[in-house]
Amino acid sequence: MKILLSPAKSLDFKSSLPTENYSEPCFLKEANFLNSILKSKNPAQISELMHISSSLGELNYERFQEWLSKPNKGNARQAIYAFSGDVYKGIDSYTIKNDKIDFLQNNVRILSGHYGLLKPLDLIQPHRLEMGTKMSFKSYKNLYDYWKKQVSLELNEELCVDEPVLNLASNEYFKVIDSKVIDSPIFSVNFKQYRDGNYKTIAIYSKKARGLMTRFIIDNQIIKIDDIKSFNYDGYIFDQILSSEKNFVFTR
């Protein structure tokens, strides 16, 4: 099973790492190219491009200036430990046992506006570039135009015959995948909360739940899609009535 996740805006480059193992992003050359474009922009232009505050514009300007074409353990860390948003709080990657790291590396993929496609142990540098950023360059209309073909082909190449793909990424990031290129079945999951007499999707809870499901799959080394129906972390249960063949709904 390949699990697709979104990255996070918030980063952690200070906590002690639980493993020395790392890998190199498959699209490092392409990421370096994007950084060369971003590096040429001043802080005000970055703020305008990304719709962020002037202080965040300055921060990311400095990140783009300090970017190295060849990352090392001094200026970069593994993606799964670098991202620290709600999804990654749910995964709680720093507590994953060493004997589950290989499963994590083989089965989780992170979609990225800057790196395209990441394995959990790929070294990444501090950055911010959301997939939905309205950034045109050369012959590319936007980042989807830049990444869609190469990311989809790479993902498909990594899949075994009929290996299921579980989309736990946001719509913004999953849109970079061309499902026509993927030869394996793609499944999605929704998490709903009971509020005011109805089940509703609430973003902040859904983000953490995506991480919790990822952790559940890692803890139990699940490879069959039907086995995720037993997910029961944080009070969630599989809802047969609300679910469909390729869209599983969990409620609480």
Residue 187 structure tokens:
């499944």
Pairing of strands 247-251, 186-195: parallel
Secondary structure class of 4 (helix, strand, coil)? strand
Contacts of 78 (CB under 8 A, 6+ apart): 17, 19, 21, 22, 120, 121, 122, 123, 124
Q: What is the pLDDT of residue 72?
A: 87
First-to-last alpha carbon distance for the chain, in angstroms, is: 25
Q: For 70-79, 89-98, 143-152, which range has the lowest pLDDT when averaged over its residues?
A: 70-79
pLDDT in tens, 196-213: 999 999 999 999 999 999
Checking if the pLDDT of 3 tops 90, the result is yes
Quote the mean pLDDT of the chain.
97
How far apart CA 245 and CA 239 sit, in angstroms, is 12
- Contact present, 124 and 118 (Cβ < 8 Å): yes
- How many Cα atoms are found within 13 Å in the side-chain-facing hemisphere of 54? 1
Checking if the pLDDT of 78 tops 90, the result is yes
Nearest Cα to 97, choosing from 5, 220, 234, 232?
220
- For CA atoms 89, 93, 95, 96, the dihedral sign is positive
pTM of the model: 0.96
How far apart CA 59 and CA 102 sit, in angstroms, is 34
How far apart CA 43 and CA 58 sit, in angstroms, is 5
Checking if the pLDDT of 73 tops 90, the result is no
Q: What is the pLDDT of residue 250?
A: 98
- Contact present, 80 and 91 (Cβ < 8 Å): yes
- For CA atoms 199, 175, 61, 208, the dihedral sign is positive
Q: Could you give the angle at which helices 54-66 and 28-39 cross, rounded to 10 degrees?
A: 130
What is the average per-residue pLDDT within 15-31? Answer: 96
